């Protein structure tokens, strides 16, 4: 018995469009990119070009369970987004709100220990070495005042 096509499928707490290919729909989940999505499809033996709306309930449950524990799929540590977690020391891969929470916690920790990056975050400045001479300015913009006589 063929199941009907679903236009919205909920995987890992995210509503995914059913008319997208599996590899691109999974990349809409925060913390999963195209390359990791393709690797997950290959590891689970699923067709990456299959439409998400055609997945059965069992496949959706299995995919949801595997996405919540990506580090257990046996990928090399460089594919994970939380290598050597500073608080636990283990390799993890976080998705959705867990990723947002951990990034916020890391920033608060950097602020608390007053590291260089933490201080930059506190003052709202650029953190990763970008130039600040001409960009990242606050307040109203000021124009160039021209002399009355024109160009001299």
Q: How confident is the model at residue 147 (pLDDT cuts 50, 70, 90)?
A: confident
- The residue written with tokens 């679903």 in the block is 6
- The residue written with tokens 């953190």 in the block is 127
Phi and psi at 31, nearest 5°, equal 105, -5
Please tell me which residue, 131 or 142, carries the higher pLDDT value.
131
Amino acid 103: pLDDT: 93
Taking alpha carbons only, the member of 13, 75, 76, 11 closest to residue 43 is 75
pLDDT over threshold 90, residue 87: no
8-76 folds as: Helicase, Ruva Protein; domain 3 (1.10.8)
Amino acid 1: pLDDT: 43
38-61 pLDDT, tens per residue? 999 999 999 999 999 999 999 999
Instruction: Give me the chain's average pLDDT, please.
Output: 89
Report the C-alpha gap between 110 and 116 in whole angstroms.
Answer: 8
pLDDT over threshold 80, residue 3: no
Span 13-17, average pLDDT: 92
Report the C-alpha gap between 13 and 24 in whole angstroms.
Answer: 16
Domain assignments of the chain as residue spans, ordered by start: 8-76, 79-123
Count of beta carbons in the 10 Å neighbourhood of residue 38: 16
């Amino acid at each position: 018995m063929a199941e009907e096509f679903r236009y919205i499928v909920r995987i890992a707490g995210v509503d995914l469009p059913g008319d997208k290919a599996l590899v691109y729909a999974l990349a809409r989940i925060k913390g999963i990119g195209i390359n990791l999505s393709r690797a997950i499809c290959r590891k689970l033996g699923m067709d990456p070009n299959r439409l998400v709306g055609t997945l059965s309930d069992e496949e959706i449950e299995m995919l949801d369970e595997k996405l919540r524990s990506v580090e257990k799929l046996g990928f090399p540590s460089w594919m994970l987004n939380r290598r050597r977690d500073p608080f636990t020391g283990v390799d993890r891969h976080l998705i959705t709100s867990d990723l947002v929470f951990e990034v916020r916690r890391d920033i608060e920790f950097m602020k608390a220990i007053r590291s260089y990056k933490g201080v930059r975050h506190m003052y709202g400045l650029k953190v990763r070495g970008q130039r600040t001479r001409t960009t990242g300015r606050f307040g109203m913009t000021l124009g160039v005042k021209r002399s009355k006589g024109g160009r001299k």
